[in-house]
A and B are shown apart, each in its own frame.
Chain A
């Protein structure tokens, strides 16, 4: 029944003073969700009806500067707590009070392919429609997100949207593999004598303390790592033995784990997860590339060469190169080199799939570097926006907007950006070494060198991208 987990962990957030007691209360989760729902509501209203200048609108400022930055910081320092506080789940739970979903999510779609497609689509729309510069469109994205949640989870039972559809959730799942905290059973022996399985089944509505079990099909004793875990804490509330904690672990290590995972199976047998991990890594490079000067030179060059004056085919070509052709080429080359050098008997694709997960920490380092740049350099920019919002509403309680407030100077953020990329690179190199050591215990180096080379190439590309002058334009044809 148990997954052979190690002895009881040393640190458990749920047993920490104050914060542990707070997190164990269901009311805290509800309060967090209500707070994010109200913020989302304010963003939507301001985005639709407020000033249509991105730096002066809550929808664009909070979404593209603060939400993204805070999200990756929390993922780096703790875990997937933004999913804990998800406002979309609040709306879904309210809707489900009136009508229970009739269907189960289609078997053919019980994988990450829908999430992968939506994540790519979202990144593409972000660049094509310059969502970062458009308050109304940003607000509409939030509204569409709510609508999609209500439709999907209105039709399909459990947390179908979170597990299979939500592009933010898929991003969080992958990033949280590098988080230091994990929702995990404290004492696996206690689960061996459990017959009620409340953590997965929940307790029925008629019982003294009705509580749903894990809606993402993660059975705690067999759960491995953070993939697919929304930190919703339903399992914590459901366990009658108080045997589920939020424990400290080695970030990234779960990416090496070959055990059968509850709700997921084996990582090395999941091409959809390998593609999601690869998309996560190369998407970080692409998203960063979209904010620097050379991207406009490349787009203008493609426009001339292909004689195309509209952006979407050119952007589509860039996406195809960076998210499909480049990873396929680089990962295939690395795997072929490793097989030849180390004499691996495994076929090419399984090697690519296993090692693709080792790139995740590096990809996370690039996302962190990018999003923290915006977050830190624009940290206080929401203050004058909120002041202006109140003043425009005839409530000048917060004073006149102070537009001198910003954040760290860009030069101060740069060392941190480099440090995060290098940290991600080191962790990825460590994971690649461990995989190589598993493959060739006596002589890991020949299997390691190709993947180390790939990590260094990606890391160098990321550092080059971060060293370029930042440039944000509405379209490559402008100026």
Chain B
């Protein structure tokens, strides 16, 4: 599983989050249901949530609100028709203030 946030470097506001998921054989993992949860690295902030759409096989995209500058952690929760489930957290450090 790989994750990319746009714009890069990320800024406060809506961020496009792209997730590429492959199975153990390296083939695109199709038909998954992916949800995103963004948390800041410090307490006291409400997390952001978003669902992803599958754009092409194994390539998912969602829009997540990054509400404050600083370090974020984005957790991807993926489940697939064959029953597989994967959860992974990606650090997104240094989100900049809105320009």
Complex A-B: 30 CB contacts under 8 Å? A54-B42, A55-B40, A55-B43, A55-B44, A55-B45, A56-B39, A57-B43, A60-B42, A64-B43, A130-B41, A293-B69, A381-B43, A381-B45, A469-B69, A469-B98, A470-B68, A470-B69, A471-B68, A471-B70, A471-B97, A472-B68, A472-B69, A472-B70, A472-B71, A473-B71, A478-B93, A478-B94, A479-B71, A479-B94, A479-B95
Chain B interface residue count: which class? 20 to 34
Q: Which of B32-52 contact A (CB under 8 A)?
A: 39-47, 49
B43 adjacent to A378 (CB under 8 Å): yes
Contact yes or no, A470 B70, CB < 8 A: yes
Neighbour of A473 across the interface among B12, B45, B46, B70, CB < 8 A: B70
Determine whether the beta carbon of A55 is less than 8 Å from that of B71: no
Q: For this complex, into which size category does the number of interface residues on chain A fall? A: 20 to 34
Interface contacts beyond A377-B44, A471-B70: sample of 10 additional A-B pairs, CB < 8 Å, sorted by A: A53-B39, A53-B73, A55-B39, A64-B43, A65-B43, A403-B47, A407-B44, A472-B71, A473-B71, A474-B41
B94 touches A64 (CB 8 A): no
- Chain A, residues 63-98, CB within 8 Å of chain B (1/0): the string is 011000000000000000000000000000000000
Chain B, residue nearest A69 (CB): B44
* A291-309, CB < 8 A from B: 293
Asked if B9 is at the interface of the complex by the 8 Å CB criterion, the answer is: yes
User: Is the pair A378, B44 in contact by a Cβ cutoff of 8 Å?
Assistant: yes
A473 touches B93 (CB 8 A): yes
- A contact set with B: CB distance below 8 Å: 53-57, 60-61, 64-65, 130, 132-133, 293, 374, 377-378, 381, 403-407, 469-474, 478-479
User: What is the distance, in angstroms, from A472's C-beta to the closest C-beta of chain B?
Assistant: 4
Partner of B44, one of A130, A374, A403: A374
B73 neighbours in A (Cβ, 8 Å) = 53
Residue among A405, A407, A469 having the largest count of chain B Cβ atoms under 10 Å: A469
Point out residues on B near A: beta carbons under 8 Å. Answer: 9, 12, 39-47, 49, 68-71, 73, 93-98
Residues on B with C-beta less than 8 A from A472 are: 40-42, 68-71
Residue of A nearest to B68 (CB): A470
With both chains docked as a complex, state the minimum distance between the C-beta of A322 and any C-beta of chain B, in angstroms. Answer: 21
Closest to A378 in B: B44
Check B45 against A406 for contact (C-beta < 8 Å): yes
Residue of B nearest to A469 (CB): B97
Return the 6 tightest CB-CB contacts between A and B, nearest first.
Answer: A479-B94, A378-B44, A478-B93, A471-B69, A406-B46, A469-B97
Residues of A within 8 A of B41 (CB): 54, 130, 133, 472-474
Residues of A within 8 A of B68 (CB): 470-472
Q: How far is the CA of A378 from the CA of B70 in the complex (A)?
A: 16
Nearest-CB distance from B32 to chain A (Å)? 22
Known contacts A293-B97, A471-B68, A473-B70: does B42 contact A479 (CB below 8 Å)?
no
